């Protein structure tokens, strides 16, 4: 059973925004500049969700786990950052139902924040360009604090900002990282059935609820205790 929260924090990539089209374009453009084989969007979709540094490392070795040559990474990472700075929101889109779900949460008076592992220099322009930045009173990016998800610190930071207890807080995300951070923080966690969880079913991580679109959060909250 879901308890009605006072505050709801929402993840970005894989929850609000399908950012893979831009990320994949930048990965492949980076690989071309390095004279290495490109990967395509389908592979990149399984590699995102832990920040762009990790994505670049995965792209360089062509798999989820492992580490690339240190010198190669030092060459590649600045190339990717320059590409992504120019291509943060050119191909990315809101998932269906996101704007309607945010409209409902705002009208219902919930305190809303955004917590992501994406760096602030990419997060803020992306949310602004897609027209959803103003829904959130606080945006906690991957470099706002020394720690990022799955560490609970970003969630607790937002709870302190709003003056809300973790037990009265909810996170909405899409990955096992969101589930781990929420459990460690003492938050409830609702996950999207789509999103970026490295090809694994998010239900296996046992969130409190799984929904197919952000519009479905209304039904959850209206039935909440």
pLDDT in tens, 113-159: 999 999 999 999 999 999 999 999 999 999 999 999 999 999 999 99
- Can you give the pLDDT at residue 106? 98
- Phi, psi of 161, deg, nearest 5: -55, -45
d(CA 171, CA 157): 13
Residue 188 host element (H or E): strand 188-192
Q: Where are the beta strands (DSSP E) in 6-86?
A: 7-10, 17-18
Please pick, among 6, 11, 18, 28, the residue that the annotation labels catalytic. 11
Of 180, 213, 221, 208, the residue nearest 195 (C-alpha): 213
Residue 142 DSSP class: T
Average pLDDT over all residues of the chain: 97
Is residue 106 within 8 A of residue 89, CB to CB? The reply is: no
The C-alpha angle with vertex 88 and arms to 116 and 175, in degrees rounded to 5, equals: 30
Instruction: Give residue 225's pLDDT band: very low, low, confident or very high (50, 70, 90).
Output: confident
Residue 170 host element (H or E): strand 169-173
- Can you give the pLDDT at residue 69? 97
- Can you give the pLDDT at residue 207? 98
Q: How far is CA 100 from CA 7, 22, 61, 135, in A?
A: 18, 24, 39, 12
Q: Where are the beta strands (DSSP E) in 31-162?
A: 93-94, 111-115, 138-140
Catalytic status, residue 212: no
End-to-end CA distance of the chain: 7
- How confident is the model over 72-92, as a mean pLDDT? 98
Q: Which residues pair with 140 in a beta bridge?
A: 115
d(CA 78, CA 26): 12
pLDDT digits (tens, 9 = 90+) for 25-51: 999 999 999 999 999 999 999 999 888
Instruction: Give residue 76's pLDDT band: very low, low, confident or very high (50, 70, 90).
Output: very high
d(CA 42, CA 164): 39
- Can you give the pLDDT at residue 50? 84
- Can you give the pLDDT at residue 1? 81
Percentage of residues in the chain having pLDDT higher than 70? 100
pTM: 0.95
Contacts of residue 12, Cβ cutoff 8 Å, sequence gap at least 6: 19, 114, 116, 118, 123, 126, 127
pLDDT digits (tens, 9 = 90+) for 166-214: 999 999 999 999 999 999 999 999 999 999 998 899 999 999 999 999 9
């Amino acid at each position: 059973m879901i308890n009605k929260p006072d505050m709801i924090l929402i993840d970005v990539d894989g929850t609000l925004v399908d950012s893979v089209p831009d990320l994949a374009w930048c990965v492949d453009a980076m690989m071309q500049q390095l004279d290495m084989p490109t990967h395509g969007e389908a592979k990149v979709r399984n590699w995102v969700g832990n920040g762009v540094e990790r994505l670049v490392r995965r792209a360089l070795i062509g798999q989820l786990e492992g580490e690339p040559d240190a010198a190669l990474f030092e060459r590649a990472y600045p190339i990717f950052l320059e590409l992504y700075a120019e291509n943060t929101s050119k191909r990315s889109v809101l998932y269906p139902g996101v704007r309607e779900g945010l409209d409902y949460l705002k009208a219902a008076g919930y305190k809303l924040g955004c917590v992501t592992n994406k760096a602030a220099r990419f997060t803020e322009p992306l949310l602004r360009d897609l027209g959803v930045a103003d829904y959130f009173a606080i945006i906690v990016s991957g470099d706002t604090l020394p720690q990022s998800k799955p560490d609970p610190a970003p969630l607790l930071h937002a709870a302190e900002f709003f003056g809300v207890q973790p037990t009265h807080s909810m996170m909405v995300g899409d990955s096992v990282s969101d589930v781990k951070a929420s459990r460690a923080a003492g938050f409830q966690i609702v996950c999207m059935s789509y999103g970026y969880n490295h090809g694994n079913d998010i239900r296996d991580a046992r969130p409190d609820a799984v929904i197919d679109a952000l519009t479905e959060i209304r039904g959850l909250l209206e039935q909440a205790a």
